[in-house]
Amino acid sequence: IGAFAYLTAILSVPTLAQERSAVKQGFTLAPNSKKKILVFRPSVRVGAQSTGGLFEPNAEWTERAKINIQTALDKLQLKLGNEVMVAPEAYGDDVRNVEEHMALFAAVSRSVIEYQFFKGNRLPTKKRDNKADVFDWSLGDGISSLPGAKDADYGLFIYNKDAFGSAGRKLLQMVAILGPGIAVKSGEHVGYAGLVDLKTGELLWLNADAAMGGDVRENDGSEKRVRQLLEDFPGSSLGMAQAQ
């Protein structure tokens, strides 16, 4: 009993606050500004985290999460404050183009978390005179070739990955905590949402977190996740209080 009490106490210690959202300097998006936002179908991956930490995809969980997240997004996107357009269905080479840009968006988001949001690793190019933060990231001007891009001003990208810790992984985490101080994390719940200029590829706003809440396999959990992803979206009525 003492071991489990100790484990619970260790896991309940709050982590240090870390930035998780940013806006490009000078960018604003007022409500009802008549700007058109193209919403791409979210990239969703759900599975288990093996004892060794590997991601093991689960097709049933992923399909359920895709439906839940899309339903929550359909419900909440009307509160984004401007005209929302759903990206047209992609075919042929366009499918690969969208997938490549979604993968690029995820990679850029991971870099932002690592080299900008985590201040200890912040790159010199992301600081001005070592004082003012500089948010300057891009997906490249190839973004303008995506389906529907020519008819909109901005594109909304959403990436979501959940790896639920297996029984073996959770046991390993407990043993590691009670052992010689080896860090073992059980579960991974990553979410990125970003607004991109469809002409230049500039990343204008990003909300990226490697520790999201909400079980996307459930309806309520998916709505919580989408609210968190869209929290503080420029010009929207989705405030912080709603995302808790």
- Residue 12: its pLDDT value, please? 37
The answer to whether the Cα torsion of 214, 220, 226, 232 is positive or negative is negative
Ranges in the chain, pLDDT < 50? 1-17, 169, 184, 240-244
- Residue 171: its pLDDT value, please? 56
Tally DSSP H helices, then E strands, for the chain: 6, 10
- Residue 121: its pLDDT value, please? 73
- Residue 55: its pLDDT value, please? 84
- Residue 176: its pLDDT value, please? 55
- Please give the Cα distance from 203 to 222 (Å, whole number): 25
- Please give the Cα distance from 189 to 65 (Å, whole number): 13
| Tokens representing residue 195 in the block | 């607004």
Q: What is the dihedral of CA 215, 229, 13, 181, to 10 degrees?
A: 80
| Cβ within 8 Å of residue 38, ≥6 positions away | 85, 86, 87, 148, 149, 151, 152, 154, 155, 156, 198
| Tokens representing residue 128 in the block | 């001005």
Contact 105, 98 (CB under 8 A): no
